[in-house]
């Protein structure tokens, strides 16, 4: 499956929203339950964002189709046949 930009955009929007929701949950709430420590609030937002964004980014990158570079002809015994293409692969 080729890269699909709308899917990663949707996932990043969801990750941002989750991060903001998590930060709001720590800084608002019933009186006496708020945790307004800046590090705590930011950490909560970062963890929520990463929980959605990380897997979405990984899936997006792994969905790329990589076309091999230029074929290489080798000679010799099977153990001597090692080499790389002379051109880069292309992500489509």
Would the pTM count as exceeding 0.75?
A: no
Q: In 3D, which of 54, 44, 2, 52 has the Cα closest to residue 24?
A: 44
Domain ranges of the chain: 5-91
- DSSP line for 17-52: HHHHHHHHHHHSSSTT-----HHHHHHHHHHHHHHH
The pLDDT value recorded for residue 65 is 75
Please state whether 76 falls in left (phi above 0), alpha (psi between -120 and 50) or beta: left
Are 47 and 39 within 8 A, CB to CB? no
Read off the pLDDT of each residue in 44-67 and give the average, rounded to a whole number: 88
CA distance 29 to 54: 28
Read off the pLDDT of each residue in 49-62 and give the average, rounded to a whole number: 91
């Amino acid at each position: 499956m080729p890269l699909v930009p709308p899917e990663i955009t949707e996932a990043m929007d969801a990750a941002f929203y989750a991060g903001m929701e998590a930060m709001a949950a720590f800084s608002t709430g019933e009186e006496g339950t708020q945790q307004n420590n800046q590090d705590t609030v930011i950490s909560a937002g970062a963890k929520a964002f990463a929980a959605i964004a990380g897997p979405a980014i990984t899936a997006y990158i792994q969905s790329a189709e990589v076309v091999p570079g230029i074929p290489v002809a080798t000679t010799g015994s099977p153990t001597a046949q090692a080499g790389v293409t002379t051109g880069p692969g292309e992500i489509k």
